[in-house]
Amino acid sequence: MVSLISVLFTLFFIAMVVLAFAVPILLFIKLFKRASQQNQNQEEVEPEISGYRVRGEVLNNSESAFFHALVKALPENYFVFPKMRIADILETIGGYGYIHRRNKILPKHIDFVVCNEYFKPLLALELDGKSHEAPDRIDRDKLVNGIFASTSLRLQRIEVGSDFHETAMGIRSTLTEVR
C-alpha cells in the first residue's frame, strides 16, 4: 500500500510541473493581449492626430472688417480678442447644475471681447449675419443672450452690413464713459 506521504509528494510534484508550464503561458497571453491593445489604441488615435489642417483664415470677411474698424477706433489700452470661448470669459458658478451649465457654454464662443489693459472683459460683441437666421442658431443666440444677461458683462449684437466704423466709434465712446 502506498503511503500517504508518497501520494502527497506525487500530487505536489504534479502541481509544480503544471505551474511551471502554466505561469509562463499565462504571462505570454497577458503580454500578447496588452501589446495587441496598445496597437489597437494607436490605430484608433492616429487618425485623430492626423485629421487636421490649418484654416485659411481665422475670421471671415465681415469679422475681419469689423475687427480692423474696432481696433482702429479704440484707445491704446484696449484690446480686442476674436473668437473667445464663453467659458474663458464667464465663470460657471458652483452648486446644483454646475456641470450642466458649464457644459452648455464650453463649445460656444463669442465673436469678439474687448478688454482693458488688465485684460478684464468689458464688452462682448457678436456679429449677426445670415447664419443667425437658422432655427438652431436662433436657439443658440437666445441661450447666449440669457447667459450674458445674467452677468455684469454686456453682450452687444451687431448686424452684418451695418456701418462698422460708426458702430466701432459708438463702442469707443461707450467704453471710455464706463471706464
**Which residue, 32, 52, 72, sits at the end of a domain?**
52
Number of compact structural domains in the chain: 2
Q: Are 106 and 87 in contact (CB under 8 A)?
A: yes
Write phi, then psi, for 31 (nearest 5 degrees).
-65, -40
- Other Cβ atoms less than 10 A from the Cβ of 127: the count is 24
**Which residue, 52, 69, 91, sits at the end of a domain?**
52
In terms of domains, do 68 and 142 share one?
A: yes
In terms of domains, do 140 and 157 share one?
A: yes
Q: Are 112 and 148 in contact (CB under 8 A)?
A: no
| pLDDT tens-digit readout, 24-68 | 787 778 877 877 776 665 555 566 787 888 989 999 999 999 999
Range of the domain at 141: 61-178
- pLDDT below 50 — which residues of the chain? none
In terms of domains, do 73 and 8 share one?
A: no
Note the pLDDT of residue 136: 86
Q: How far is CA 20 from CA 8, 10, 31, 33, 68, in A?
A: 18, 15, 18, 21, 76
In terms of domains, do 150 and 69 share one?
A: yes
Q: Which three cell numbers stand for residue 142?
A: 437666445
In terms of domains, do 98 and 14 share one?
A: no
Note the pLDDT of residue 137: 87
Note the pLDDT of residue 59: 94
Note the pLDDT of residue 47: 65
In terms of domains, do 6 and 32 share one?
A: yes
Note the pLDDT of residue 179: 56
Q: Are 74 and 114 in contact (CB under 8 A)?
A: yes
The CA distance from 14 to 55, in Å, is: 68
In terms of domains, do 35 and 84 share one?
A: no
Note the pLDDT of residue 135: 85
Note the pLDDT of residue 178: 61
